[in-house]
Structure 1
Amino acid sequence: MPMAADHATVSALLRDRRFGREDPVPPDRPAHQADFWAVENHSMLELEPPRHTRLRAQVLRAFTSRRIAALGPEIAALAHELVDAFPSEPFDLLDAFARPLPVRVIARLLGVPEADAPSLLAWSNAMVGMYQARRTHADEVAAARAAAEFTSYLTDMFRAPAPNGLIAQLLAVEAENKLSRDETCATCILLLNAGHEATVHTLGNGVAGLCAADLWGAEVTPNLVEEVLRHDPPLHLFTRFAMEDVEAHGHQFARGDRVGLLLAAANRDPDVYSDPARFIPDRYPAAPASVSFGAGLHFCLGAPLARLELLEALRILAQRCPDLRVVEPPRYANIYHFHGLERLQVDVS
C-alpha cells in the first residue's frame, strides 16, 4: 500500500474524512475468528460516524478529565510499590515495572479486581495478536478464544459492578439506551487493550531513550513526556481506508484501498523537528505536536491517561532509581505494527 511519511501528509490524512478506519468493502472472515469479530465489530476504534460519534460521546461521559486526574496519586503509589520490589541484581524493567503498571491502572479504572490483572493481560496480548504480521491459524484461534473469555468475564462483572468504576458508569449509560450491551463490552475491552500495550512500549522505549541520550536523571516534566512520545513512539504505523474513489496527495485511491500512515517517520520529519533523531526534552512547547496519538476524530481517547501514567511512572522511577543504567543493548521485538522492546535489562544499584 502507499505510505505517507512526512508530518504534513500524515496529519492531513488523519483528518481527511474521505479516509476512515471502517473498511467500506468488508472482507469475508473465517468462522474460527467469529468470537473475535463479535467484539471488534463494536469497537469505536474500527467505526466511523454516525456510530463512532455516538459511541465516543457516551464513553467520554464516563472517561472524564477529572476522573483521570484523580488517578495521579494512585499511579504514583503503584509505581512506588513496584520499585520497592525491585531485585538487587540486574533485571528486566519491562516485567518488573512497565508491564504491570498500566494493566493494574486500567483494572482500577474499570473497577475490576487487581488480582485478575494476569488474566486481563493474557486476553489482551492474545487479542492484539490478531493485528500482528505473520499471525498463524493458532494465533487467530487464540484471539477468538480470548475475546470470548474476556466477554464472559465482563458479563460476570456487569452483574455487580464496583460502584465507582468505569464499568458502573458505562452500564448507567447503557440503561439510558445510549449504549448496547455489545458496545459496553467492546468499550471495556478496547480500554484495556489500547490502554495497556502502547503504554508498556512507551515506558520501555522512553527509559532506553533517556539512558542512551545520557539524560537519565533529568527532571521529568510534561514536556519531557511529549518528547518520549515523539522520539520513539509505541505505534509506528496506522492505516486508513479510502471511503470513496478519491485523489489525494498525488495518488488515486479506489474505494476500499488502504493507505499507511507512518507515525514515527512523521515524528522525525526534519522539516518540522530540528535534529529529529536527538532526544531533546525542552523541544516542547515550541515544536508542533507529534502524531503519536493520531489526530482528527480518532484522536486517542486515552491520551490524557497515557500522559499521566508516563509522567508519574517516569518521575517516581527517576526519583527512586537515580543510578539506573541499561546493562545490555536493548533489542526491539520483531513485531508489527507495535514498536517496543523485547526486554530492558537494567541495574539500579
Structure 2
Amino acid sequence: MHRFAQSPTDPAFVQDPYPFYDRLRDAGPLAFWADYDMPVAASHAAVSALLRDRRFGREDPFPPDRPAHQAGFWAIEDHSMLELEPPRHTALRGQVLRAFTSRRVAALAPEIETLSHDLIDAFPSGEFDLLDAFARPLPVRVIARLLGVPEDDAPLLLTWSNAMVGMYQARRTHADEVMAARAASDFAAYLRDIFRRPRPDSLIAQLLDVMGDGGLSIEEVTATCILLLNAGHEATVHTLGNGVAGLIQAGLWRDDITPDTVEEVLRHDPPLHVFTRYAMQDVTIFDHTFRRGEQVGLLLGAANRDPLAFPDPARFDPGRFPDAPMPTSFGAGLHFCLGALLARLELLHGLRALSTRRPDLRVSAAPQYADIYHFHGLAALMVE
C-alpha cells in the first residue's frame, strides 16, 4: 500500500484538497494517509463498497478511555445513532423514523420557500456575506421550526452547534474540546427545559410520544434532536455556500435550479470530506487485512471527483444527472443520512429563490475555505 503524507491543516490543502485526492486514487483502492495513521479509500467504487460493507461500523470495538474534560460531549454523542451499530442503531433509527417521516419533511417545502424569500428581502444593499445573510439562518430556522424550539434562540443553537462539531475538525485543541463538552451539556439542559412544555405539533412532541411508549430514552431523544441540528445545519450551510460559488463560477447562476442541479452541488464540492469506519472483525478487502478495531477513512469528497464515475469531474455540470451514479455526500448503507430529504429540499428551494430573486448576484471577493477539515466550507462568501 502506498504511503502519503499531507497535513489536513496545510493552507494549500484547505483551499484545494482535490489534487491530493487524485494522487491517493491513482495509488489504488486503498492508500495509507500517514497524518491520520490509517488506510483511506478515494475512489467512488471503493468508498461506496466500504459504506455498504457491514463488516465495518461506527462503533469502536475497543473504546478508549476518554479524558474527563470531554465527558459532557460524549454523554450526548454516545446516544447518537450516527455512532451506533445494530441492534441498538436499528431500534433507535426505526423509532426516530416514526416521528421524522418523509411526509412530515416534504410538508416543510412551502415554509422553506417562504423563509428563503424573507431572508432575501432582508439582504443589505452593496457587498455582504451570503453565509451570514442566507446560508446560516435558513437551515437553523427550518430545524428550529421542525423541532419546535423558538426561532429567536437560533443564535444560541448555532453557538452550541459550532462548538460541538469542532470535535471533528483536524485543528481542534484542548480548548476546543472543553468548549464542545460545555456546549453539549448546555444544549442538553436547554432541550430538557423545552421537553417540559413541547409545542404540540412539533417533532420534539412526537419524539416524546415515542419515548412515552417505551421506544426511546430521554438520552436518545436529546441526542437525536442535537444530531438533527448539528448534522443538518453544518452540512447545509457549507453546501449552500459552496453551491452558490460553484454555480456563479461556472456561469450557470441564471439557469433553472432543478433537482439535478442540487445533485451536482452535492457532488462537486461536498460539505463533509471524511467519514471513518472501524473494522468490526478481522477482514481482508482490496488486498489489505484490517484487524478488528482498526480504522479506514472514506474520502467522500474524493469519491465525488472520481473520473471513472464522473467524467471531467472538476467541471460543474448538472447535465450529468440523472444518468451519473449517486454522489457519496450523504453516505450509503446503514448510516445513509437521515436528513437527506430535508437537505435536498433546503438546497432546491433556497437556491431557486436566490437565483430567481437575485439573478445578477456576483462574487465580489475570491472565496476562501475555512480551516475546518473534515468539513469543507467557505469562511465567507462576499457577494453583491
TM-score, normalising length from structure 2? Answer: 0.90
1:2 partner SS: strand
- Please state if 1:161 is matched with 2:181: no
CA deviations 1:203-252 (Å, max 9, x no partner) are 00000000110111110000110000001100111110111111111111
Distance in 1 (CA, whole Å) between partners of 2:124 and 2:195 is 38
In 2, distance between residues paired with 1:34 and 1:267?
35
Q: Does 1:19 align with 2:76?
A: no
1:175 has 2:212 as partner = yes
Q: Do structure 1's residue 256 and structure 2's residue 331 form an aligned pair?
A: no
Residue aligning to 1:200: 237
**2:361 is equivalent to residue 324 of structure 1:** yes
In 1, Cα distance between equivalents of 2:40 and 2:99? 36
Q: Alpha-carbon deviation of 1:134?
A: 2.4
Q: Does 1:99 pair with 2:139?
A: no
Equivalent AA in structure 1 for residue 180 of structure 2: A
Letter in 2 for 1:181: I
Contact 2:171 / 2:371 at 8 angstroms: preserved in 1? no
Residue aligning to 1:340? 377
Residue 144 of structure 2 aligns to a residue whose secondary structure is helix
Q: Which residue of 2 aligns with 1:145?
A: 182
Equivalent position of 2:16 in the other structure? none
Does residue 89 of structure 1 match 2:126? yes
* Aligned position for 1:49: 86
CA contact (8 A) 2:42 2:300 kept: yes
For the pair 1:37 / 2:81, whether they are aligned, the reply is: no
Alignment partners' CA distance in 1, 2:257 and 2:97: 28
Name the structure 1 match of 2:316. 279
Aligned to 1:293: 330
Instruction: Summarize deviations over 1:139-192 as a string: whole Å, max 9, x none.
Output: 111111111111110110000100111000000000011101100110000000
Q: Secondary structure at the match of 2:181?
A: helix
- In structure 2, which of residues 39, 44, 62 is the aligned counterpart of residue 7 of structure 1? 44
Partner of 2:224: 187
2:19 paired residue number: none
Instruction: Please provide the CA RMSD for this pair.
Output: 0.7
Q: Distance in 1 between matches of 2:262 and 2:283?
A: 37
Q: Deviations over 1:283-329 (max 9, x none)?
A: 11111111110000100000000000000000000010000000111
Report how many aligned residue pairs link the two structures. 347
Aligned match for 1:134, one of 171, 174, 177: 171
Q: Distance in 2 between matches of 1:27 and 1:131?
A: 16
Distance in 2, Cα, partners of 1:153 & 1:193: 15
Provide the rounded CA distance (Å) in 1 between the counterparts of 2:183 and 2:84.
21
Distance 1:117 1:323 in 2: 29
One-letter code aligned to 2:88: R
Counterpart-to-counterpart distance in 1, 2:353 and 2:171: 38
8 Å contact kept, 2:79–2:223: yes
2:154 to 117, 139, 145: 117
Match of 2:249 among 212, 215, 224: 212
Unaligned 5+ runs, structure 1:
none
Identity %: 74
Distance 2:75 2:368 in 1: 35
Matched, 1:308 2:337: no
List runs of 5+ in structure 2 lacking aligned partners. 1-37
Distance 2:65 2:168 in 1: 16
1:61 aligns with 2:98: yes
Which range moved further: 208-217 or 134-143?
A: 134-143
TM-score after normalising by structure 1: 0.99
* Paired amino acid for 2:321: Y
- 1:234 is matched with which residue: 261, 271, 278? 271
Q: Deviations over 1:57-99 (max 9, x none)?
A: 0111111111111111111111111101111111100010000
Deviating 4+ runs (over 3 angstroms): none
Query: Aligned to 1:3, what secondary structure does the other structure show?
Result: strand
Amino acid at match of 1:94: L
Decide whether the 8 Å contact of 2:44 with 2:303 is kept in 1: yes
Name the CA distance, whole Å, in 2 between partners of 1:335 and 1:111. 29
